[in-house]
Amino acid sequence: MSLFSSIKSIFSSAPSSPKEPEILPSEEYQGFTITPAPIQEDGGYRVNGLITKGDRQHDFIRADMLPSSDSCGVEMVRKAKQMIDQQGDGIF
């Protein structure tokens, strides 16, 4: 590929659309349900998921990027538990 073609492809490529989150198994913690849903983006997976209790829910998304979906799910659960410990029902 020539230098001109490389430069042209940088400016003419369409932006990649975000993919749907991959829903991983939920985990119960102190009456809350934590559902990891990593989002695949360029360079890895973004920490994302849902924290629910009864009919209330909190969308949980962070800037953290990890190399695999599984490691991202583990990190989401860890951070969600920390948030629950700190804020309890104040999350909602």
Is the pLDDT reported for residue 16 higher than 60?
no
What distance in Å separates the CA atoms of residue 68 and residue 40, rounded to the nearest whole number?
9
pTM: 0.78
Residue 90, Cβ neighbours under 10 Å: how many? 8
Question: CATH no. for residue 76?
Answer: 3.30.160
4 in a structural domain: no
Residue bearing the bigger pLDDT, 15 or 89: 89
What is the pLDDT confidence band of residue 20, given thresholds at 50, 70 and 90? confident
41 in a structural domain: yes
The total number of structural domains that make up the chain: 1
Which tens digits make up the pLDDT trace of 46-85? 999 999 999 999 999 999 999 999 999 999 999 999 999 9
The whole-number pLDDT of residue 13 equals: 55
Q: Spell out the residues 6+ positions from residue 24 whose beta carbon is closer than 8 angstroms to its own.
A: 35, 36, 37, 38, 69, 70, 73
5 in a structural domain: no
Domain hosting residue 44, numbered range: 16-91
Buried b or exposed e, range 56-74, using 16+ CB within 10 angstroms: eebebeeeeebeebeebbb
2 in a structural domain: no
